[in-house]
């Protein structure tokens, strides 16, 4: 009866433990899923805002360049003189030839659709490339533009003759009181619409919209991805549509918000005002696409939770059965088997050790597989960027070349970061292969490996007669390489290029140091130096990924030592690490 009562207690306790573990697993999965959903939405919102800001900045630059073309035309004295002569005498062929030649050159150089010379009364004097062509919207805007006397832009309008959408730069001609106006007509299909509609990442619903307020409506200025019809064909009343991102944008709101787009579909949108213009820009993506990622994560978490609960149930039941069996066995043989018990425990330890080794091997293989999967898109990014740079380099603007350079540099930096993270993982698990190390020779080799001969000639590199040490040669070589290369890097801006390497016995430890006279650091932040991704300087000043010193600390601790640093801003820094002294 005593055995039966104990068995029941054991079974009840097992089920209680299983229930608690299952509840904890499900709660943890639910909390993580909610946090992931929030973080993912924030990340998508930041990405949308980055797209909106980039396109807004480019639109501002594009408008300034077009208005600049107008100022060039407005201030051209020779052009104004030829125009005045032609106004006075329409049969002056020399003046007409000069005007047409200048208009042809300007159109061919800057890619305008058409150019029109308008008289003070709004009559079209001359057009190019069609001398007899007219534009009613431009003619109607002439009196007001001449009255203002400044270069301005005629915003998006539909031409009554051909039904196409245009913009125009209106440039008054003649100093003081203008004698007429040059209109530079722009076809947005040639550059502006493709630029606005281009989405920088793979997305099935991402869309950029350019809108302006027209009366009480939000007017959509470009073509729509999910609705047929030309630009300027959709307008939606602002009042009564508070959930419409375009209505919010033309009302002056900026930032990231959730709403419903012109289709009535829930979206996440970033709103930006285009400075010095009547335009607002909306970068939007369907919430269904945003939530697709979180939905996949919830599915994975659900399956993982089920698997964990199953494992926990198996483990708890097996543990309960084992405990019952062990209890019977111990009570039945209370006076027997100390030696046999010890043998059994040793066998279990060996088994668990083998399982741990296998688990570590699988973890390392998984890490390398993940690194390979991460590197594949990085190589694609770098490769395609290099192809664009080689094939399109001459035709790219300076900004385009700079952006390509940033993309390739970021890809290479990410690849280096993945390699460093794999190093940290490997150094934490690799079995030590110890031998006696000539530390002086290793420090000198590290210096020779990290500088070219010309740079080395400008350094005073001194290595004292430092003690030998026992350790894994490949790992300790990495320690010297990181510390010496850091000393070189942070010494370059300083007029004193001196690096001193020393080592001394302190009790049962050997303490090695690498001291420089470089830029140094604030001693208050010394504990951060050996943490992952912890840097005290910007990438613009000194390249790095914040991994090197973390690797140093990991290797030294595996050898039974410690790593620390001392420094003062502008006076240099000293990095120390200790290793156990040579065993006798």
Task: Render pLDDT for 149-168 as a digit per residue (tens, 0 to 9).
Answer: 899 999 999 999 999 999 99
The answer on 218 and 191 residing in a single domain is yes
The answer on 234 and 315 residing in a single domain is yes
The answer on 570 and 550 residing in a single domain is yes
The answer on 472 and 364 residing in a single domain is no
Task: Please check whether residue 467 is in contact with residue 442, taking contact to mean a CB–CB distance below 8 angstroms.
Answer: no
- Which one has a higher pLDDT value, 474 or 399? 474
| Residues 6 or more apart whose Cβ sits within 8 Å of residue 379 | 411, 415
The answer on 402 and 270 residing in a single domain is no
Task: Please check whether residue 96 is in contact with residue 84, taking contact to mean a CB–CB distance below 8 angstroms.
Answer: no
Task: Render pLDDT for 555-564 as a digit per residue (tens, 0 to 9).
Answer: 999 999 999 9
CA of residue 56 relative to chain centroid, distance: 19
pLDDT for 581 equals 87
CA of residue 180 relative to chain centroid, distance: 50
CB atoms within 10 A of CB 119: 17
The mean pLDDT of 331-340, rounded to a whole number, is 61
The answer on 369 and 509 residing in a single domain is no
CATH code assigned at 520: 3.30.565.10
- Structural domain span for residue 542: 431-580
The answer on 530 and 385 residing in a single domain is no
Residue 378 above 80 pLDDT? no
Helix or strand run (H / E) with residue 55: helix 2-74
**What is the longest distance spanned by two Cα atoms in the chain?**
130
Query: Of 425, 455, 489, which marks where a domain is finished?
Result: 425
CATH code assigned at 345: 1.10.287
The answer on 257 and 376 residing in a single domain is no
**DSSP state for residue 122 in the 8-state scheme:** S
The mean pLDDT of 204-233, rounded to a whole number, is 93
The answer on 559 and 457 residing in a single domain is yes
Task: Render pLDDT for 43-98 as a digit per residue (tens, 0 to 9).
Answer: 999 999 999 999 999 999 999 999 999 999 898 999 999 999 999 999 999 999 99
Query: Of 425, 460, 487, which marks where a domain is finished?
Result: 425
- Indicate the number of domains in the chain: 3
The answer on 534 and 469 residing in a single domain is yes
- Which one has a higher pLDDT value, 522 or 210? 210
CB atoms within 10 A of CB 133: 16
Q: Which residues of 341-351 are buried (b: 16+ CB within 10 A; e: fewer)?
A: eeeeeeeeeee
The answer on 152 and 238 residing in a single domain is yes
The answer on 250 and 138 residing in a single domain is yes
Query: Of 390, 425, 460, which marks where a domain is finished?
Result: 425
Sign of CA dihedral 336, 340, 346, 351: negative
Phi first, then psi: what are they for 187, rounded to 5°? -95, 110
């Amino acid at each position: 009866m005593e055995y039966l009562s104990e068995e029941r207690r054991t079974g009840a306790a097992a089920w209680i433990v299983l229930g608690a573990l299952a509840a904890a697993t499900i709660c943890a999965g639910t909390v993580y899923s909610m946090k992931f959903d929030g973080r993912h939405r924030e990340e998508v919102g930041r990405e949308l805002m980055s797209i909106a800001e980039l396109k807004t900045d480019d639109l501002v630059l594009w408008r300034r360049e077009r208005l600049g073309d107008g100022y060039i035309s407005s201030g051209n004295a020779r052009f104004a003189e030829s125009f005045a002569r032609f106004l006075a005498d329409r049969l002056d062929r020399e003046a007409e030839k000069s005007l047409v030649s200048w208009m042809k050159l300007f159109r061919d150089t800057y890619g305008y659709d058409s150019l029109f010379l308008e008289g003070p009364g709004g009559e079209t004097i001359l057009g190019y490339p069609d001398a007899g062509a007219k534009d009613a919207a431009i003619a109607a805007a002439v009196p007001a533009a001449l009255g203002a006397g400044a270069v301005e832009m005629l915003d998006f309008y539909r031409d009554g003759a051909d039904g196409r959408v245009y913009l125009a730069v209106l440039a008054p001609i003649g100093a003081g009181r203008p004698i007429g106006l040059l209109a530079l007509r722009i076809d947005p299909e040639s550059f502006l619409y493709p630029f606005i509609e281009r989405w920088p990442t793979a997305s099935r619903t991402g869309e950029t919209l350019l809108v302006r307020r027209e009366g009480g409506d939000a007017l959509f200025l470009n073509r729509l991805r999910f609705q047929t019809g030309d630009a300027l064909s959709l307008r939606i009343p602002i009042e009564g549509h508070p959930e419409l991102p375009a209505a919010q944008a033309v009302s002056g709101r900026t930032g990231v918000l959730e709403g419903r787009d012109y289709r009535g579909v829930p979206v996440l949108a970033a709103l930006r005002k285009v400075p010095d213009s009547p335009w607002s820009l909306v970068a939007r993506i369907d919430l269904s696409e945003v939530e697709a990622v979180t939905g996949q994560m919830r599915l994975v978490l659900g399956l993982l939770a089920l698997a964990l609960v199953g494992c926990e149930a198996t483990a708890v039941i097996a543990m309960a059965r084992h405990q019952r069996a062990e209890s019977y066995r111990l009570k039945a043989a209370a006076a027997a088997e100390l030696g046999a018990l010890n043998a059994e425990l040793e066998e279990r330890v060996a088994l668990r050790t083998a399982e741990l080794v296998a688990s570590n091997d699988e973890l390392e293989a998984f890490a390398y597989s993940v690194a390979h999967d991460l590197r594949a898109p990085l190589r694609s990014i770098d490769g395609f960027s290099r192809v664009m740079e080689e094939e399109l380099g001459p035709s790219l603007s300076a900004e385009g070349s700079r952006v390509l350079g940033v993309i390739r540099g970021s890809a290479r930096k990410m690849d280096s970061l993945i390699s460093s993270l794999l190093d940290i993982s490997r150094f934490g698990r690799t079995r030590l292969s110890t031998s006696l190390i000539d530390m002086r020779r290793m420090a000198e080799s590290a210096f020779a490996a990290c500088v070219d001969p010309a740079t080395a000639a400008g350094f005073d590199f001194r290595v004292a007669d430092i003690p030998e040490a026992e350790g894994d040669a490949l790992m300790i070589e990495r320690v010297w390489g990181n510390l010496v290369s850091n000393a070189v890097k942070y010494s370059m801006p300083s007029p004193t290029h001196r690096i001193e390497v020393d080592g001394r016995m302190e009790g049962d430890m050997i303490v090695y140091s690498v001291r420089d006279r470089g830029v140094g650091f604030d001693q208050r932040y010394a504990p951060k130096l050996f943490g992952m991704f912890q840097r005290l300087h910007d990438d613009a000043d000194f390249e790095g990924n914040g991994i090197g010193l973390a690797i140093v600390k990991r290797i030294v601790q595996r050898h039974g030592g410690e790593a620390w640093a001392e420094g003062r801003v502008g006076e240099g820094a000293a990095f120390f690490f200790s290793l156990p002294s040579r065993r006798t």
